[in-house]
């Protein structure tokens, strides 16, 4: 019995020593593996890891400009950032056009001839004329182009006039951008579409027409109306009308807008203000030859030259000059305005 007990204790002791030995070996082995991993970690990374890291860094640098471009095109809060960039680009483009694209003479010389007659004391509108025919614009046109007459050495310095109209173009675009900004929802990329017109650049810096002057005043009128500054809007509307009669085409919508926004009494008062501005601007002519002034400055029977039409090239010259064709256009215009008045504006 004693011998059996001692053998059993010996076996248990041996198993215990074997287990301790194997555990020690396992601990030693894991320690070696850990030290090997540390050595590997301290070694230079493989090439594929270096390339991957470089790509991550490159894409990290690209994220910011890509995000900026996306914001400039799509985020309405970046509206004026995009607008400022476009205006700067437009300024450079207009200067390049003036410098490298040939000026085309159409009306500038005639404008200067008409202004010269006015500055030399002529007040009979029927006697104010240029190479392209009689003066057919209201008195505000004469004041604006009289200023240009003096600034451009009696109209001889056309290059300076082009630069002035380039500045006018930038100013007009800025006002139009301000009108769009009132929406707060228009994505900035929409502004790019406003800068792509070849004809618009031509009208301003290669022709120096009076349309840009009239439309600048009208866009300021629109901007004032958007901000509910109705008196300012009416003043600038009347100034635009004093430069060119076609501003009357905007009056039906503008009049309805006034009526619905501020009521009948104040609308009547502002209409009186607009008429008063027209009379004041035309005062030198109304006190001398009033009939001649109205018959020329607001001549509704005037027939346009087919040579200069753009919108109606689809018809031949005989049709374009026919009185019934003009009557049909006027009738169609009135019908469309009446439809908008009844079914849209005053629903």
Q: List pLDDT tens digits, range 220-271.
A: 999 999 999 999 999 999 999 999 999 999 999 999 999 999 999 999 999 9
- Digit-coded pLDDT (tens) for 13-56: 455 545 455 445 455 555 655 566 555 544 555 555 555 555 55
The pLDDT of residue 330? 87
Give the tens place of pLDDT for each residue, 5-15.
455 554 554 55
Token couple for 209: 């027409």
Please report which helix (H) or strand (E) contains residue 181, including its range. helix 158-181
Pairwise CA distance, residues 149 & 163, whole Å: 14
Question: Pick from 131, 125, 280, 114: which is nearest to 210 by CA?
Answer: 114
Element (H, E) at 59: helix 47-74
Strands (E) in 88-238, as ranges, are 129-130, 133-134
pLDDT for 2: 44
Q: Which two tokens stand for residue 151?
A: 């600034």
What's this model's pTM, rounded to 2 decimal places? 0.79
Q: Domain-by-domain residue ranges, the chain? A: 306-347
Tokens 């049909």 belong to: 328
């Amino acid at each position: 019995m004693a011998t059996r007990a001692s053998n059993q204790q010996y076996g248990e002791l041996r198993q215990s020593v074997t287990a301790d030995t194997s555990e020690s070996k396992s601990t030693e082995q894991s320690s070696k593996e850990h030290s090997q991993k540390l050595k590997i970690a301290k070694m230079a990374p493989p090439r594929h890891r270096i390339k991957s890291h470089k790509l991550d860094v490159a894409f990290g640098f690209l994220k910011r400009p890509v995000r900026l471009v996306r914001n400039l095109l799509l985020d309405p809060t970046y509206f004026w950032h995009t607008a400022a960039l476009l205006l700067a680009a437009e300024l450079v483009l207009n200067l390049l056009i003036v410098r490298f694209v040939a000026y085309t003479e159409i009306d500038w010389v005639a404008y200067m001839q008409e202004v010269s007659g006015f500055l030399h004391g002529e007040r009979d509108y029927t006697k104010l004329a240029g190479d392209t025919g009689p003066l057919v614009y209201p008195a505000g046109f004469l004041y604006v182009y009289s200023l240009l007459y003096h600034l451009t050495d009696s109209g001889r310095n056309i290059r300076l006039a082009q630069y002035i109209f380039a500045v006018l173009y930038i100013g007009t675009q800025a006002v139009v951008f301000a009108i769009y900004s009132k929406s707060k929802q228009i994505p900035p990329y929409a502004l790019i579409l406003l800068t792509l017109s070849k004809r618009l650049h031509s009208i301003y810096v290669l022709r120096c027409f009076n349309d840009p002057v009239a439309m600048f005043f009208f866009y300021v009128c629109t901007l004032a109306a958007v901000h509910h500054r109705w008196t300012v809007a009416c003043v600038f509307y009347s100034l635009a009308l004093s430069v060119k009669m076609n501003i009357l085409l905007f009056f039906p919508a503008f009049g309805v807008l006034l009526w619905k926004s501020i009521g009948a009494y104040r609308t009547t008062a502002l209409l009186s203000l607009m008429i008063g501005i027209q009379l004041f601007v035309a005062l030198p002519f109304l006190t001398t030859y009033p009939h001649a002034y109205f018959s020329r400055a607001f001549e509704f029977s005037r027939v346009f030259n087919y040579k200069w039409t753009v919108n109606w090239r689809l018809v031949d010259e005989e049709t374009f000059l026919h009185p019934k064709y003009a009557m049909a256009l006027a009738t169609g215009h009135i019908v469309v305005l009446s439809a908008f008045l009844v079914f849209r504006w005053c629903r």
